[in-house]
Amino acid sequence: MTKSVAGELAGLELPVERGCPFAPPTGYERLREQAPISRVRLVTGAEGWLVSGHEESRAVLADRRFSSDRRRDGFPFFVSDPATLKLMRDQPPFMVGMDGAEHAASRRPLIGEFTVKRLEALRPRIQDIVDRFIDDLIATDERPVDLVQALSMPVPSLVICELLGVPYTDHDFFQTRTAVAVRRTSSSEDRLRAFAELRAYIDELITRKESEPGDDLFSRQIARHRQEGTLDHAALVSLAFLLLAAGHETTASMISLGVLGLLTHPDQLTLITTDPAKTPAAVEELLRYFAIADAVTARVATEDVEVGGVSIKAGEGVVVSGLSANWDPAVFENPDVLDVERGARHHLAFGFGPHQCLGQNLARMELQIVFDTLFRRMPTLRLAAPVEELPFKTDAIIYGAYELPVTW
């Protein structure tokens, strides 16, 4: 790779929609081979850098000279309407939009909530939740059934509601508004309304827990901050907003796509149904293969930085393509092949570096339990429509399927 090649506009405008439901967008492979750090145009009209190689992606995500603070000049955004841009710049930053000591201080109190040991204590309850929805699925006389509505969405929604202390009876409210917020084709008015309604709901929820705490994550965070004299209502609302939205949308998408991937690769499905000990590795491979949060990891250089032989100037925006990195043949041989025995723990589906996903172990557990239980209890499960007819979320920040009709 030469700096002149890397510095040329690559002919892509971000974000790029996937043409094939499984493969990365056309153009990623060419960029990764020729210039894994390339100049691209953002939907805002600004220029920035797209990082498509695995090694280069890890380097950027681990380098604290790249800021997550969207209030900085040059930060790369994925929406172009002025009202949404103003909202994203002006609202209090989420934890994922903080840097350095501020980010560490916000993240540290949450680490204990997501340790493997603590989450293992939740396993029986998560198993009960999965069994409950599969019971309902088996009992229905309807065929076909949309697995998104019957299983993929309700399982992580109920899990995160119980963990955070959010009434599950409100799940339709926050699911529909989250969907509008993450859909790139939503109008500015609809997106702003969804953000405002979600924030108002969460503000009221946190206010209630400040006076009537329960046995849940939000209440424990309030108690901790109150004891330390650091109680900040607005910061807690921002944190709650992030955890609630991220806690169900991403896992729901991975349940649907994981089931789809296994049903369309019956040889791989057989490997885990005959030996459930292989399910954890299968989950890692499915996370690598689909990488649902592609090109949403944005940074801006705070000083001149050289990565992979390319000079990135202070104030220039950088976007990391986790999907392209996860299909880098330098790390994953034959990346277009779904191989549940691959051993894909080096994937970037959960990010890398200081901002690596806090809830990754919870997501892994939910996926493992769902796949093991679903295919054990419903061994004749199959798709009820051709893959090419399925509606995929090509218009959303988080990839997935809008519907997944199945029968048995």
pLDDT tens per residue, range 3-62: 434 666 666 778 788 878 898 888 888 889 999 999 999 988 999 999 999 999 999 999
Residue 234: CB atoms within 10 A of its CB come to 11
SS3 string of 322-384? HHHHHCCCCCCCCCCCCCCCCCCCCCCCCCCHHHCCCCHHHHHHHHHHHHHHHHHHCCCCEEC
Per-domain boundaries in the chain:
3-407
The pLDDT of residue 183 is: 86
Cβ-Cβ contacts under 8 Å for 36 (sequence gap 6 or more) = 1, 51, 52, 53, 55, 56, 308
Distance CA(95)–CA(107), nearest Å, equals: 7
Helices within 41-167 (DSSP H only): 54-62, 82-90, 100-111, 116-120, 123-139, 147, 154-164
Closest CA to 326 of 307, 344, 308: 344
Q: Which residues of the chain have pLDDT under 50?
A: 1-5
Phi and psi torsions of 57, nearest 5°: -65, -45
**Count of alpha carbons within 13 angstroms of residue 372, beta-carbon side:** 16
The pLDDT of residue 3 is: 43
The pLDDT of residue 60 is: 98
Cβ-Cβ contacts under 8 Å for 371 (sequence gap 6 or more) = 258, 259, 262, 272, 279, 282, 283
Structure tokens belonging to residue 151: 């299983």
Closest CA to 65 of 270, 347, 354: 354
> Which contiguous run of DSSP H or E holds residue 48?
strand 47-51
Q: Classify domain 3-407 by CATH architecture.
A: Orthogonal Bundle (1.10)
Structure tokens belonging to residue 7: 């510095």
Helices within 116-186 (DSSP H only): 116-120, 123-139, 147, 154-164, 171-182
For strands 66-67 and 145-146, give the pairing: unpaired
Distance CA(242)–CA(390), nearest Å, equals: 29
User: What integer best gives the mean pLDDT of the chain?
Assistant: 93
Closest CA to 94 of 295, 218, 245: 245
Distance CA(218)–CA(239), nearest Å, equals: 9
The pLDDT of residue 73 is: 94
**Count of alpha carbons within 13 angstroms of residue 158, beta-carbon side:** 18
Residue range 350-388, pLDDT digits in tens: 999 999 999 999 999 999 999 999 999 999 999 999 999
* Contact in structure between 291 and 278 (CB atoms under 8 Å): no
Residue 324: CB atoms within 10 A of its CB come to 28
* Alpha-carbon dihedral angle through residues 90, 93, 94, 95, given to the nearest 10 degrees: 160
Using DSSP's 3-state secondary structure scheme, residue 51 falls into strand
Question: CA Rg, the chain, in Å?
Answer: 21
For strands 9-14 and 145-146, give the pairing: unpaired
The pLDDT of residue 7 is: 61
Distance CA(129)–CA(255), nearest Å, equals: 14
Distance CA(68)–CA(89), nearest Å, equals: 12
Using DSSP's 3-state secondary structure scheme, residue 298 falls into strand
Using DSSP's 3-state secondary structure scheme, residue 176 falls into helix
